[in-house]
Amino acid sequence: MATATPVQVTPERIMQMAWGYVPPLVLEAAIRHRVFDVLDSGPKNIWEVEKATRASARGLTAIMNVLVSLNFLSKDEQGRYALTPESDAFLVSTKPSFQGGLIKHCSEQLIPRWLHLNEVVATGNPVSPVNTEQAGAEFFHNFVLDIFPMSYPAAQTLAAEINFGSTGAPVKVLDLAAGSGVWGIAVAQSSPRVHVTAVDWPEVIPVTKKTTTGFRLADRFSFVEGDLHDADFGSGYALATLGHILHSEGEALSRKLLAKTFEALASGGTIAIQEFLVNKERTGPPNALFFAVNMLVNTTDGNTWSFEEIGAWLEEAGFTNPRLLEAPGPSPLILATKP
């Protein structure tokens, strides 16, 4: 009878984790030095990239070879570097699908806070929370524009699902924690009937106004400045969107916000939520669990939750039929209806 060969355990994965900070920092350096933008016009050797970016050949060679190993770039026998389909689609800054905005915040805003993780785990408290208006306004003023492409495809999917159409009486949409205005913009683009009320901190609303003006939708928006828990939302909305906000609020404030949103909706209205959803057992997916630690590092009570948990809160607030809508993005959208 054959004896099973023991599986050889190696420390390779642990060694990879030890250098886990390298890929995002290399990506950020490449984005900031316009490597992907320069290669968008076609393959180039290192000297051509040096001339176009005005960065050093030594530095460019080091990071671009890493990017080849990570399949963000390719390299031919003549030493010419080129974009891969993935980097062509998502890392060229002039394209609407650009996803490098989040990466641009790694070295100066995200990683420095994570360096305090040992202390944060010991105390359970962030060193400097970003979910309060005083601390977070400056952070989000710049951040919301850079993450616009992350939410825009999902917002377009939501608009198609709701389908307000081109004729009929005006409909009111409530965009909570509006940020760049991405959710309201996509819905307003889908139907001339839509008028959006965007709610966010006074320091962020100017960004919302600038973005809606850029999309030529400023006349279809109203703006409410204030904290979500204090601002007057009004009433009679057909749709309310909460894009990536519950995770920073914590459970107690999230449940209050859902109840307040319920009151603002008209009968038959829909609430739409985008979050980084974990599974019911909290064993995956990794990105949603990573983000739970990000909330530990950056907020006082923030976390990530499962569809089942948020669905229960929605029903507690009076909503019916919590359901998932598959959409481009980190997780499906959660929809529910006010009876």
Tokens 């928006």, located at residue: 221
- Asked if residue 74 and residue 144 are part of one domain, the reply reads no
Alpha-carbon span 152 to 185, nearest angstrom:
9
- Asked if residue 146 and residue 270 are part of one domain, the reply reads yes
Q: What pLDDT does 145 receive? A: 78
Q: What pLDDT does 119 receive? A: 96
Q: What pLDDT does 214 receive? A: 94
Helix or strand or coil: residue 310?
A: helix
Q: What pLDDT does 135 receive? A: 57
- 215 within some domain: yes
Q: Are 261 and 174 in contact (CB under 8 A)?
A: yes
| Tens digit of pLDDT at every position of the chain (339 positions) | 566 777 889 999 999 899 999 999 999 999 999 999 999 999 999 999 999 999 999 999 999 999 999 999 999 999 999 999 999 999 999 998 899 988 988 998 899 999 999 999 999 999 888 766 555 566 666 677 788 888 999 999 999 999 999 999 999 999 999 999 999 999 999 999 999 999 999 999 999 999 999 999 999 999 999 999 999 999 999 999 999 999 999 999 999 999 999 999 999 999 999 999 999 999 999 999 999 999 999 999 999 999 999 999 999 999 999 999 999 988 999 999 999
- Asked if residue 185 and residue 295 are part of one domain, the reply reads yes
Domain region containing 326: 117-337
| pTM for this prediction | 0.91
Q: What pLDDT does 62 receive? A: 98
H or E element in which residue 51 lies = helix 46-53
- Asked if residue 94 and residue 153 are part of one domain, the reply reads no
Q: What pLDDT does 147 receive? A: 83
- Asked if residue 206 and residue 165 are part of one domain, the reply reads yes
- Asked if residue 264 and residue 158 are part of one domain, the reply reads yes
Report CA-CA distances (Å) from 30 to 16, 39, 60, 97.
21, 11, 8, 17
DSSP 8-state secondary structure symbol assigned to residue 168: S
| Encoded tokens for 93 | 């800054």
Q: What pLDDT does 1 receive? A: 58
Q: What pLDDT does 132 receive? A: 60
Dihedral of CA atoms 249, 250, 252, 254 in degrees, nearest 10, equals 50
- Asked if residue 69 and residue 126 are part of one domain, the reply reads no
Distance of CA 27 to the CA centre of its chain: 17
Q: What pLDDT does 34 receive? A: 98
Query: Residue 301's domain is classified under what CATH number?
Result: 3.40.50.150
Report CA-CA distances (Å) from 336 to 165, 267, 273.
20, 12, 9
Q: What pLDDT does 60 receive? A: 98
- 151 within some domain: yes
Question: Phi and psi dihedrals of 195, rounded to 5?
Answer: -125, 130
